[in-house]
Structure 1
Amino acid sequence: MNKKVLFPVLTVAIIAACFIPVTQQKSTLVKSPFLIIYSVLSNPFKWEQLAPGLKKVAVADSAKVSIENANASFRIKYPGIQINVQMKSGGFFVDEDINGQKASYSYILIPVADKFYNKTTVVSEEKTSAINYLIENIWPSASPGKHLALLKNFMENDSLHYGFKIFATGVPESNLIVMRKEVSKEKRFMEAAGMLTVLKQFVKDNNVKQMYPVIAQYLPKGKDSTQVNVGLYIDKEVSSGKEIIFTRMPKGGPLYAARFKGPFNKRNQAYLALRQYFMDHAYQTAIMPFETYFNDKLPVGDTDSVDMQVNFSTYPNDQPR
């Protein structure tokens, strides 16, 4: 063959070969238990938060997001976006099209057999071009790859996974004075404010010091009543009064908490996040959850804006590992 003809033919062949699809495998260690990662990847609603390009539209235009479930698979659709997930052979196989950017990849989960089984090796296979595969092998990157990095970040970041930053803390003080009343639902805010006023007067009258912001519980009792409990941490033991009970909590007792800022009637979002966190980690609650109100500002109504912390207590064995 004429050299002048052969050279461009070889050039075209080499260029074409560079774009031949090949499969590239990467792995990363995720600090999250196998079952939790599996539950996230098998839940299409979690993919709305996990998938690039889908989270923003799911929040801003959720009515246009559709989910089609089938046997061991699901499909998420939005104008310009489609994600197909199949669960087979112990893995998750994904085909996605995000505004014309197509990708095919998979996740295989391998539990790490350490003492706590709270880590998982995730192996991902992704289709790529031969040229990208060669470049990666010649100059390997420390990055686990886009999709693995997204999953790792999502699973290791509570504010992404649960919607709140969940943190371990403890009971700040053992000495506590408490008032408890069952009141009508309509009067729960007014009654709580009055109870706080009485507690603060008790502190003055007994020459003790309030140590931390007010804590409270608003517990539904039937259809029309609420059990309202309001308490103050104080610096020393006192005798109980007629309506005020002195009690003790284990100082430093383990708590997991989430801070919430917004309308009082939306605070259940923090409760749901903490309940899911406890379920995921097989933690048990020791006492009923309670709320810390910063600046001693209790709500005056359902839509009143609050700055608070929701606290879930647990047992010493359920400490972070």
Structure 2
Amino acid sequence: MAIILGIESSCDDTSASICIDGKICSNIIAGQLVHQNYGGVIPELASRVHQQNIIPAVHEAISVAKIHKNDIDAVAFTRGPGLLGSLLVGTSFAKAFALANDLPLIEVNHMQAHILAHFIEENKPEFPFLCLTVSGGHTQIVLVRDYFDMEIIGQTTDDAAGEAFDKTAKLLGLPYPGGPLIDKYAKLGNKDAFKFPEPQIPGLDFSFSGLKTSIMYFVRDRLKENPEFLKENLNDVCASVQDRIISILLNKMKKASAQYQIKTIAIAGGVSANSGLRGALTDTAALLNWDIYIPKFEYCTDNAAMIAIAGYHKYLKNDFVGQDISPLARLQF
């Protein structure tokens, strides 16, 4: 039997999870409301709140899993990418817990963990598959050949899809986090009401900076004409913006699927919780005969269950690191 404690602290969610022989037995997530006052995550505040949350989160994860801390066989933690201060809190706790209990340490790449979240549930994708990994900081198409044999075949050249959602929400006067609110209002709007450009980026890479700029000028010009424009058209603007972001993502996935002759498609990351993306992927799969995998909502956003499951598969390979390990804000596969 292998019992893994997973620790996730890459951004503003403090999370702890217990994985027993590949089964997630607890997944505790402590959010941070303080950032709502600033319209985005403040790194210094995030790291301070992590310090407050991490011990209670780990204690609850162990309690919910109905084990004792002495039963744990290894500690898996997010090494990166992420906010350096936040990562430092999680890394320091993981190292201290492992040292105090004479346990091995397992470093986990945050983006790989998002992909491996697909192996938490019974319905698991078969290798190889393509995964669209979309979050506030990353937009990638990953060719997944095995648990840790992954290749980024396309990624954003500037901004991430999640950032495009959040910055658009800010332009529309919506509170942080704005991405879920755009999704909410988009359900009530007409996606064909307004047209936004799709960047013509060659290959499988993405770009969202130009789209963000066009949205900014669109909002500015419409408000000059009619100060009540957003109040009168908020649902339609959200629906139109969301539809364009989704079309950019799925058009690249269609191209990747055709290029690599792979029809097993997965999505991961915080933006994979977007109902519009999930629905559009389902519709596309029906048209192109894709075999798709969409994670549960709780495994889309940052969570320690994905760290624990990744740690479990590394534990089986005896893939451990020493106490001299340090967090890395930027970390490639």
Using structure 2 for the length normalisation, give the TM-score: 0.25
Which has more strand, going by share of residues? 1
Which has more helix, going by share of residues? 2
Using structure 1 for the length normalisation, give the TM-score: 0.26
Question: Larger relative contact order (C-alpha < 8 A, sep ≥ 6)?
Answer: 2
The structure that has the greater radius of gyration is 1
